[in-house]
A = this chain, B = another copy of it.
Amino acid sequence: MALRHALLAALLDRELSGYQLTKLFDLAASSFWHASSQQLYAELAKLEADGLLTGHEVVQHGRPNKRVFALTDNGRDELARFTAAPTKPISIRDDLIVKAYAEHAADPSVLIKQLEDRLAQSRAKDEFLQSQLARLRDGKSEEEYLASAENIGPYLAGTRGRMYLRDEIDWCEWASGVLRNRS
């Protein structure tokens, strides 16, 4: 199992449709887990069949209707069990770092371009995530927010995502600078 728990976590304390989850698991927001829409719809069906989620049809006007999903008690228990179980090691796979590792076989300008592309993407993601975190804080200072808010999980996770993006930005700038100085 893999996506399962990420989905359960996303649906903790709120109901979302497959489409809303697609956006959540797609770009910017989740620097910690990625999934395609096809995978999401398939996994949502499984989770519902297993009784960890329930789906409700929501009638909309001016838009197609949607089915939103909510955690069941079993789903919440499963999440708690997951949290208590030994944490599997991270799985990172980043082609860009492989390309940097193979720098010796590459044309420097080609590699620099790849670094600059990633830099631009990461800057955009970072700005988005920053705004999301500010929205969660809702005017409060971080300290105040973390002491008073009821559910700080998304803020903790989002902060980790932002650290990742800040590093990505710094590293791309640094590495492309190093390569430029050598050529």
Contacts and interface: CB of A to CB of B under 8 A. Distances in A.
A110 B34 CA distance: 25
Interface in A83-124: 83-84, 87-107, 110-111, 114, 117-118
A24 to B, nearest CB: 11
Main secondary structure, interface of A, reads helix
A104 B150 contact: yes
Interface string A20-55: 000000000001111000000000000000000000
Number of this chain's copies in the assembly equals: 2
Interface residues of A, number: 66
A171 B34 CA distance: 20
Interface of A: 2, 5-6, 8-10, 12-13, 31-34, 76, 79-80, 82-84, 87-107, 110-111, 114, 117-118, 146-147, 150-154, 156-157, 159-161, 163-164, 167, 170-171, 174-175, 178, 181-182
